[in-house]
Structures are given as structure tokens and as C-alpha cells.
Chains A and B, each alone.
Chain A
Amino acid sequence: MDYNFQPKMIGIICNWCCYGGADLCGVSRFQYPPHIRLIRVMCSARVDLLHIVRAFTNGIDGVFVGGCHLCDCHYVTNGNFNAFSMVQVGRKIMERIGLYPERLRLEWVSAGEGIRFANFMNEYSAEITKLGPLGKAEGMDDTTLAFKLEAVQKLIPYIKLVLTQRLHVPVRTEEAYQAFFTSDEFDRLFEELIADKMAISLITSLLREKSLSTGEIAETLGLSPSEVTRHIIGSSRQGLIRYDVNTKSYALS
């Protein structure tokens, strides 16, 4: 572990609760490490997957989304539930592309909880410091990291549709959301709706550089050869990918 590692972290936090909590933390002079840079939005619901992906693309080691406690949202939209869903999916995606999902955190802090903000900052900074630098810590080189994140970024419009139309939790309670996002049903939907798309997006991104064999693709993307084959068959049918007999490898059509 690199003991001199100073993590780069950003927090995108809502004006009414978390920002207020961060202010109160300051007013109370609770101390925390100087790694975080905070960005103010009006509601945690405004935080877009795009912002998170962009931050990681820029080499940020940890991204934190902060909002009001569930059901205490300043807005009648209770938009922090949407932030909750978005972060759950975001973490799952990170896991899938080989990044530590702990890098993306969601935390509820009310404007009266200065101490909670400080405790969280201390704990989270320690965690990210322990994890180490983005990509390196995961054993991923910069190029791979960049192209993986790029592939995810391209899928964001699609993921948003999935989030609103297929991953919608009808009851806005913490229990219902927790239950759904830890259920097999969510895992299944994620696999079916997002993971596959992402794998194909990654494969096509990879093949844009050069032609590769199934084994090479599997190794680069950390997938099993059978999964790669499944995606390639599907993509070949759609005419996205073709098999190059001479090089015994796959290439973009």
C-alpha cells in the first residue's frame, strides 16, 4: 500500500440537508481529512450517473452523493429515492467493470447532523485511502479503465430508461427500496437489462481498437469465454460483429 496516497474525492450534495450538515460540521469545528471537494446541488436527485462516470474518468478515487434522509427530502418528489436507485445501479456497474463499488457512496445527512457528516467523512476518507488509487488498486491499467468507463458512459441514456421503467420501486419506503435492491429480482433484471448491454458495449469498444479472439476478449474484460461467446453470437446476428477467418479473431463489421 502506498502510504503517501492522498485520495481525490468529490461529494455532490443537496443544499437542504447534507450541505447544511457539512456547514454545521464546520461551525462545530469537527475535523476531517482535506481530500473531499464538495459540489452543491439543490436535491440529490439532480445527481446524474453521467456526473459520477465523469468524475471517475477524471481519476477521482471516490464519489459521494449526499442527500436528506429518506422521506425527509425537502421536495415533495422525494427525489432522494431516485438517487438511491441510481447509486445502487452505479455500484453494481462498477463491480461489473472491475472497480471497487465502495468508491461510490451514498449517505444521508440532515442539516442538524454536523457530527454525522464529520464521522462519515473520516470513515469514508480512511476507506478510500485504504482502497488506494482508482484503477491501480484494482490492477487495471489506465487505458482499460478509460475505455470501460467510456463504454458505460455511452449506455447512460439507456440505463436511465431502465431505471425509470424497469427498476421502479412502487412504494417509497426505505424498507421497500432496500428489499428490492438486495433481491434476486434486481440481480436478474440487472443481468438481463444492463450487464449484457454493457458487455456488448465493452466488446465492441474493444474490437474498435483491433481484432481479438474470444479468449483475448474474455481475459481483457474479466468475463468467462462462454459469456463472451454468447454476446458475440448475439451481436453477430445483429451484424455488429463479424468473424475474420484469416486472423481467427473477431472484428467490428
Chain B
Amino acid sequence: MNKEDIGDVVVIGGGISGIQAALDLATTGYKVYLVEKAPTIGGKMAQLDKTFPTNDCSMCIESPKFIECDRHPNIEILTYTEVDGVEGEAGDFTVTLKKKPRYIIEDKCTGCTVCSEYCPVPIPDPFNQNLASNKAIHIYFSQAVPLVPYIDENCLFLKDKKCSICVGVCKNHAIDLHQKAEKRVIKVGAIVLAPGYEVFDPGLRGDYGYGKYANVVTSLDFERLLCATGPFEGEIRRPSDNQHPHKIAWIHCVGSRQHIPGGNSYCSSVCCTYIQKQVILAKDHDADTRATIFHNDIRSYGKDFERFYERAENLPGVEFIRSYVTVGKEIPETKNITIKYATPDEGVKEEEFDLVVLGIGMNPPVDATSLATTFGIELDSRGFCKTNPVNPIETTRRGIFISGAFYAPIDIPESVMAASGANALTGELLRSRRGTLSKARVYPEERDVSEEEVKVGVFACHCGANIGRVVDIPSLVDYSRTLDGVAHAEEGLFICSTDAAQQIANTIREKGLNRVVVAACTPRTHEPLFRDTLREGGINQYFFDMANIREHCSWVHSKQKEEATKKAKDIVRMSVARSVNLEPLQEFNLPVNKTGLVVGGGVAGMTSALSLANQGFEVHLLEKESALGGMALRIPTTLEGVNVPEYLRELIRKVYQHPLIYVSHDATITDVSGYVGNFVTTVKSEGRIKKIKHGAAILATGAGEYKPTEYLYGTTDKVVTSVELGEQIAWKEKRLTEAKNLVMIQCVGCRQEDRNYCSRVCCSHSVKNALKIKEINPKLDIYILFRDMRTYGFSEDYYREAAGKDVKFIRYEPDDKPRVEALTEGGKEVLRVSVPDPILGKRLAIDADLVALAAAVIPSAGSHEVARLFKVPLNPDGFFQEAHVKLRPVDFAAEGVFLCGTAHYPKHISETISQAYGAAGRAATLLSQDTVTASGSVCEVKETDCISCGACISVCSYGAIEFHETPKGKKASVNSILCKGDGLCNAVCPTAAISLKHYTDEELLCQIDAATDG
């Protein structure tokens, strides 16, 4: 077997989850094959316009990952490739791949697209949901990786051997119309399945006139309509006449929460929020748009979703109507669509809309059954991958893991967490092989530019239409050319795409550029990518500056095009002025302490600790209580029926028995010092103080239950919380078995002004409690008073089951909440709950034997202190703020510190476990390294100017500055390893003897000067 056919892991599916899995695995030191059946990696996320709840441009955040994959020395990307067979067992799989003919010789193609220009055959563009046309030979989308076209089956040559124009126009002779499918056999130790999902197809049943009426589109179609790279360059036009629709309706739950043939019983989890996103974006495109949303429960259960929902709801001209609907008719003249819906006051109404968007749900992948056969894994009753109930990343076959939406309808962050989790589980399996096949990245030699005149290259990005729609980019480019030092300026649609980045590297070499300014988005996300581009171009990476003309300009001045363009010119001028003064800096390597620290001994912390230990890393696990277990100790069972105490006992046993895990009880952290790879944490535990040295930290400090002050809680033992009720059910308390009426009240202490989030787990908890209590007291009347039942995903089935068992669900409005009163009637004490019944139209009074409050999940008391010690942020609700909501869900912005569990946001046990593996997987990408690279932006001292005042030494809490003896007396000197580059010493130095490299006075002052000299 060839050396190149032997690897460690094959990842099947190149969507965001597969990409993340491949990157984490490759960085940890495994050789990875990333197999994708489409002509490019990217998956569904690439088709989305923006992502909720931050409305980040989807392509902008995903495409840097394409480039990372493409450039990673341990990843081989195999697109247009499918799996034919899998043999062997965990640790030793033989996978047979079939590479479909794309009729292009990939090595020869430059991605110039001349072939597409000359191709005479128009075809509907699959990337644009067939709403636009493309050519039979085309590149899938402009940021595609690899940036190589493929030929569609409609090609005249492939059909009738009639045309071969493309072959003739291709100067590189890269087209081979006689290409055949190729077979390739590879050996790997583990398999990660990330085939993603399929969208529900409303065309099969013709739901709501889809397929029959032109102006009924799916939500995925609408994503393309919104997108700058979509069929109308980001203008929303409707299919029938390409006119701008002004009145748009969205219909929720299309294909989801349905018990009729062809529908899915489960909830697809993402649709509520993506519809709100589409509403916000549609209003952003045209403020006069009138949006009507026909919905069932609004399931804003994720982090910051509740605020996002409010934002959409509060926009002018937006109306949320809670009603099932039917499509009336298509108006023949206008092609408008009418929708019939029920209103509480006026009965059934029929209303006309210019465009109807169907909120379609998620199905298992189309080829799920054949995947299951090929890989020898089992599916569940819904056709999704069957997983271990306490480990959603494990399939039924050892050595095959899953990542992403193949196990349930989930959102991007959860897919990304599971991807990192797959790295952790693979790492446990292939521990001994780590690093044996991996290679390091090699850059071209760095050019010495010290003798060259300054040559700045300015690259201005349209970012699709994100910048270009507001800022006049051509005029910005013209202006840039007039600036001192600028030798080259050009524009690009997406500067961050693989080919554009490669092009910049080429331009640096060809034009001899020695400074680069990219005018695009924020350096906080894209600076690493472009610094890498400079290294590829053979110049020092610190010769780069980023002019943020998107977040700080086009997005915040979107109505003031002229002023925004002027501001963009100022920003670029400042950036160019800075770049001229930039110095080349050298980075250096620091050793990594390969020990992990996990804070919090609940399910999340224990799972991460155990996984790290199973991957061969030493782990210190800190628990503030005297026993491990955390909040899960109070949860007898999950909705799916997992025996939690049993699971917990087993987990705790494994933790205690693992030779690489050191547990500290009654632990309090008193101090944290150091930095990525080299932390020192001081812990007080059981009367002793110890200093733990570690390279990475995982914070899993958990959450608690809010102690209600409402609904008489605390004044009578008849009012309990959901968690308390759960415990009492497990104990089969007599008063439960004898009770006649039980009322549960949802959303106690959250979804309100002071705690404006949804606690995510409470609806399922109440359903679980209802079902469990019915088992011990079937005659009990149960009322669940709710605002929206948020039993997302597969929990929906249990909600339906509860309703089927006669649990009464009564919806209330936040401005008319239920009332609980303790009364004495006829000498008896009565606990009376009253609530307006929207169906009966009157106030319903229930005399309850017991009232259970679904109390909010709140961050644990210690999380604030832990956040302070580790210098990591909390969100306004007190939960940990991850580095990026979508794509870095278990990382903090501070390097080397990770998070998981309910300290991040309320979540179910299985979700916690998945995220805990994710954190372990991310931590492993760091702990597996021998060294980390430290920044070149550190302080230095000009000894001749140092007056030995010691001001710098006294302010540097890192202890990075010390006096040393010189012939001219004591002078300050900086230890670059300890210096963190904050620059406080620079600001306090009276003689400017100490300066922070990359942020010197000279560099900052020229920026300040340039702000006004335009």
C-alpha cells in the first residue's frame, strides 16, 4: 500500500462539522482524509446568508476554515468522492473510496473560469437552489475549495459527444472529458461521520402550494435570495416576476411537528430562530417590508435567542400570529398568494401576500440508509443515526463517531462542539498513534526587506455586498493609490476566499510588496488568516494591518453611503500610515505543559477530565464540594429514560480510578497566573494549598436552580421547584401518589426583564416529570401552564405523549400570569391556581395539591470569581461568553482556556456531555503540541533612555521586567516570555525608554496624525 493511502482518520462530510473535526484532528497530530461528495467542502452552512443570533455573514466566518483545511499539512481533501465500502474494525479500517469524474485535472486547473464563460449550456445553479442559472461546467461557488470546476451531467459532450469548447479554451489543458471514476483504498484507525442533514422537501406533497405556485419558496431558497452572492446579488426578488416583494409571510413548522404521512413528528430545533433572522434581514434590505410570521410555539431556547426573538418582534411592520394556516389560492394576475388563518377575535381570515416563505425542517441525509449499511451502523426510528444515550458522539459501531446533525436536528454550534468531541473520542482510541504520521507546515523563507523602499499593497474587500453596498470600493481603491507608500491597490469580492488569499501571496511576490493593508472586516477574526498569507508571500507577518471598514463602517453607517465611503478612506489612510512604520517581528516557541486542569466536578467537568486522561494527558479536577457529581446528583432520570444516578456512579468511579486524574475536593482557586501552555493555578483544598502547573484549563463550573420568590414558594411546602418535584417522584412520595391535582408553572424567573433568557431545559423537565408521575399516579390531573412549549428536537415526541396521556397544557401570556393563592375555604386550606384560559375565554381556577415551578437555570455562584481569576468574560446573564457563538463554542478568546456544560448556558445532560467532549477535544489540540508560539509584540527597552525609575517594573504584574546591572548602572530589561504585550509599562515610562513593539508611539501617533490629514 502506498504511504499516502495510510492515515489515521477519515472524516465523511465536508460541512462545517466535518471541517471542524478534520481541523481539530489534524492539529492534534492525526493524518486526516476529509471526504465530501459535493464538488467543494462547505456544506449547508455555505448556502446560508447570515447566522443567528449575531447575524454574522455565514460565508465570511466559514470560508477561513476552508483555507485552514486546504493549507493544513495533515489534511487531504477529497471532494466529489463517495464511500464504497468499509472493512475492518476500530483501529484498523480499510475504506474504499470512489472519486466521481469531475472531468477536470485538478492539478492543472487554475480556477480561471474561462471554461464557464465559453460553455454554451445553461443549467439551474444547485448552489443557488436552482433560482439562478449557471453553466454545465462551473465552480460550485466562488470560495470553493478546491477552486476547481466540475462538469454537470447536462454537458453536451457527456450526453451526446457534441461539444468540447471548454477543452479548447482551457489554456492549461486541464479538462479531460474522458475521465473515469477512480477507486482508492485507504487505511485508517477511526471514522468520523459528518454527513449532515437534508432539508425537508415540501415539493413531495406540494405543501402550501410549493412547486405549484411560483411565489412560495423554502427558507433555504430565501437564504439565497437574501445573499449577496445569490441569484439577484442580494436583492430580494420573487420568482414570478423578479419584483421586490413588500408583503412577506413566513410559515413555521413545515414538515416538522407533524403526525401526518410525509411529515416529521419531531421539532427541527432551528427554524424558529432562522425565521426571525430572515425577518430581521428582510427588514434590513427594505425597511418598508411588512412581515407576517405564522407560528406555533416560538422556541427561542438557545443562548441569546430570546433577545433575538424580541428584536424581530419589535421591528415595525412585523407581526407574529399564532395560528395554523392553509394556503388559499394564487391570484392569477399578480401571482400573489392568499393565506387563511384563525384569529381569536375575527374568526378565519384570508390575507394576500407577495411572497410566502416556508420554514422547512431538517431530515436525515437522503442516503442515511445506505450510509448505515456501508458503515455497519444502526439508525433510529426517525432515520437519524442511533447513538449512545449518554454519548451522542458514539455510534453503535466501535471506532465510528458522528459529528453534526446526523444524530438529531441541531444548530451550528452544537455541530462544531460535536466535531471537537469526535476529536476527543478519536484521540482516546488512537492515543498511541498521535503524531506518528503528522507533518508540520513549511513556509517559504522570509525576505529581508530592510533595504527596500516601502511598498504597501492595499486590498479592499466588497465582502459580497456587506461592504460594497455601502462603501464605494472602486473609489476607495483609487484613493488608496494616491497614498504615500502605496505601490498596489486592488479590490475583491471576498478577499478571504482561498483563491483571493493565494492571489495576495502571489501579488506580494510579483510586485515586491513589503507591507499589506487589507480593508475588510475585523482583525479579531481575520488577522491570523492574512498574517498567514503574508508568510506565504515570503514577508514578515507583522507587516500587516487590517482596516476595519465593515464592523466599524459599512455595518454601522449603512444609510450614509457618502460619509461611510469618506470614513473608509480615512480608515485606510490611517492603516497605510501605520503599516509604513511597522517593523518585522520574530515570534518564539514556548514549551507546553501537557497537563490539563478542569474546574468543576459535575457531569461536564468529569467527562472532559476523563476524556483528556484517556487521551494520555494528566488532569487535575477541582470540585468545590466534598463530592463529585454537581447538579446531576439531583436529577433521577432524563426524558429519554437514562438512569442518571447509575450513570453518575459509573462516571465517578472511572474518574477516581483513572491513574492520570487527580481530584481535589472542597477546592477553591485563590490565584491563576501564567498563560497558554504554562498556567499556574493555586488551589486551596481540604486545608492544603497547592500550586498546579498546567497547559490548558477547562471551566465547567455549572449552574444552579433559581430559588423562586414568586407563587408562594417558600411559604408552603405545597409549592416546589421542578427539580424538587423530580426528586420527590423518584422517592415516590406519598403526597404525590395521593394527589389529585398538580399544576406546573413554566418560565419562573426567566424570560423576563431581569433574566431575559430561556432556561432551555424546563419544558422538557416538566414533560418528563408529568410522564413519570403518571406512572405512579395515573389518575392525577396535571396542568402545565406555559408560554411556549419549548420541547425542541426529539423531545417533541414526549410532549405529544404527555398530551396524549391527558396532561392539560394551558398557555398564558406574560402580562397576565397565573396566580397562586393560599385560601381557607370551609375550614380547609386550599391552594388555588387561577389562569386565563385562552380557549374558554375565562379564568380557570384549579385547587392544587401541589404546584411545581419550572424555575430558571442560573449561573453557579462561583462562576463570576472563576471568570475573574482566568480573565474570561461573562455575558450579561452571567454565563461564560465563548470566543465565537457559532464557530468557537467551547473556546474562550483567551488562549488555552475552554468551557463546557451549563456554565456556558442551560442544557440537557446529553448536550453537556457532547460539549464536554468538545472542550476535551479542543484542549487536546493544545496539549498535544510540544510548543506554542508566543507573540512578537512584546516590550523592549532602549537602555540609553532608561533612567532606572522602576515605574515599569512596579506596574508589570507579570513580573516580566527586572533591573539588570550595566556599566552605566541599573537598567530595566524585559523577559519576552513573560511579557504579554499589554503596553502598560510603555504608557507609564516617563522617558519612553520602554516600548511595546507593534504598538509603538511612532506607530500610534502616525495613525492619529493620519486621522486628520486627509
Contacts and interface: CB of A to CB of B under 8 A. Distances in A.
B954 interface: yes
Nearest to B955: A77
Contacts of B310: none
B90 interface: no
Interface in A93-148: 110-113, 118
Interface stretch (A39-47, A181-189, A206-214, A228-236): A39-47
Nearest to B567: A34
A204 interface: no
B551 A82 contact: no
A22 B873 contact: no
Interface in A1-53: 8, 10, 12, 15-17, 19-20, 22-34, 37-43, 45-48, 50-51
5 contacts: A26-B556, A48-B1001, A54-B1008, A79-B982, A113-B876
Given A38-B552, A46-B982, A164-B951, 5 more contacts: A29-B555, A39-B1007, A42-B981, A42-B983, A160-B951
Contacts of B875: 112
Those 9 A-B pairs whose CB atoms lie nearest each other, nearest first: A26-B551, A46-B983, A45-B984, A43-B982, A26-B555, A79-B984, A157-B990, A34-B563, A75-B982
Interface string B279-320: 000001000000000000000000000000000000000000
A198 interface: no
Interface of B: 54-56, 284, 522-524, 548, 550-553, 555-560, 563-564, 566-567, 570-571, 574, 673, 868, 871, 873, 875-876, 881, 893-894, 937, 949, 951, 954-958, 980-984, 986-991, 996, 999, 1001, 1004-1005, 1007-1009, 1011-1013
Contacts of A251: none
A59 B1008 CA distance: 11
Contacts of A160: 951, 987-990
A224 to B, nearest CB: 31
A8 B1011 contact: yes
Contacts of B1012: 8, 58-60
B984 A77 contact: yes
Contacts of A157: 990-991
Contacts of A40: 523
A161 interface: yes
Contact of B524 (A8, A15, A45): A15
Contacts of B958: 75-77
A123 B634 CA distance: 48
Contacts of B989: 160
- The range of chain A's interface size is 35 or more
Contacts of A48: 986-987, 1001, 1004
Contacts of B981: 42
B522 A23 contact: yes
Contact of A45 (B567, B570, B881, B982): B982
A28 B871 CA distance: 25
Contact of B986 (A22, A23, A34, A46): A46
A221 interface: no
Contacts of A28: 54-55
A74 interface: yes
Contact of A58 (B522, B557, B560, B1011): B1011
B556 A32 contact: yes
Given A34-B557, A41-B999, A158 B986 contact: no
A76 B284 contact: no
Nearest to B578: A39
Nearest to A113: B876
A161 B982 contact: no
A71 interface: yes
A76 B955 CA distance: 10
A195 interface: no
A75 B959 CA distance: 13
A43 B1001 contact: no
B566 A22 contact: no
A158 B557 CA distance: 41
A163 interface: yes
A72 interface: yes
Given A76-B957, A77-B957, A55 B1008 contact: yes
Given A10-B1011, A34-B557, A164-B951, A23 B987 contact: no
A29 B55 contact: yes
Given A34-B564, A77-B957, A39 B1008 contact: yes
Contacts of B980: 75-76
Contacts of A29: 55, 284, 555-556, 558
A202 interface: no
B574 A47 contact: no
A86 interface: yes
Contact of A82 (B937, B988, B1008): B988
B893 A82 contact: no
A167 B893 CA distance: 33
Most buried by A among B284, B987, B989: B987
Contacts of B563: 34
Contacts of A60: 1008, 1011-1012
B987 A86 contact: yes
Contacts of B937: 42
Contacts of A158: 990
A151 interface: no
A58 B980 CA distance: 31
A25 B55 CA distance: 11
Nearest to A168: B954
Given A31-B559, A50-B1001, A157-B990, A38 B881 contact: no
A73 B982 CA distance: 10
Most buried by A among B54, B56, B557, B1008: B1008
A26 B552 contact: yes
B1011 A37 contact: yes
B129 to A, nearest CB: 25
B954 A164 contact: yes
Contacts of B555: 26-27, 29
A34 B560 contact: yes
Interface string A155-189: 00110110111000000000000000000000000
Nearest to B881: A112
A164 B988 contact: yes
Given A86-B987, A157-B991, A163-B988, A25 B556 contact: yes
A19 B550 CA distance: 13
A11 to B, nearest CB: 10
B873 A112 contact: yes
Contact of B871 (A25, A42, A54, A75): A75
B53 to A, nearest CB: 9
Most buried by A among B552, B673, B999: B552
A82 B955 contact: yes
B752 to A, nearest CB: 19
Most buried by B among A17, A27, A41, A71: A27
